[in-house]
Amino acid sequence: MSLLTRSLLIWTGIIRGGALLLGSEDGTPVGSIAIRKIDDAICEAKRLFIKPEFRGKGYARVMLNTMLDKAKELGVARVALLPFGARVVRVHY
């Protein structure tokens, strides 16, 4: 079944001005990503993780797009994608 025809359930929890998104398919956990507000205009994408057996199948794209939608809901205009221990490298507009 292709990713376009399957449904990925995303659970979203609000955590201190950010959010934690947990993805599952048919009750099986697939991955997670979090966002953390830096200020009212920008948030940081944190710790995208996809379980090894689900990698290479497009789940990261679904999780990232859902995270961007959630950032918009939180009123954030920009999302920073930061490698571990780095300063802002790229900002999604």
Owner of token pair 């780095």 = 86
Q: Indicate whether 63 pLDDT > 50.
A: yes
- The chain-wide mean pLDDT, for the chain, equals 78
Q: Where do the structural domains in the chain lie, given as residue ranges?
A: 9-92
Position 54 scores a pLDDT of: 92
Q: Indicate whether 85 pLDDT > 50.
A: yes
Closest CA to 35 of 26, 92, 1: 92
Contact assessment for residue 49 and residue 33, using Cβ atoms and an 8 Å cutoff: yes
Mean pLDDT of 52-73: 90
The C-alpha atoms of residue 31 and residue 22 are separated, in whole angstroms, by: 6
Q: Give tens-digit pLDDT for 15-39.
A: 777 888 888 888 888 999 988 888 8
The C-alpha atoms of residue 29 and residue 9 are separated, in whole angstroms, by: 9
Domain with residues 9-92, CATH architecture: 3-Layer(aba) Sandwich (3.40)
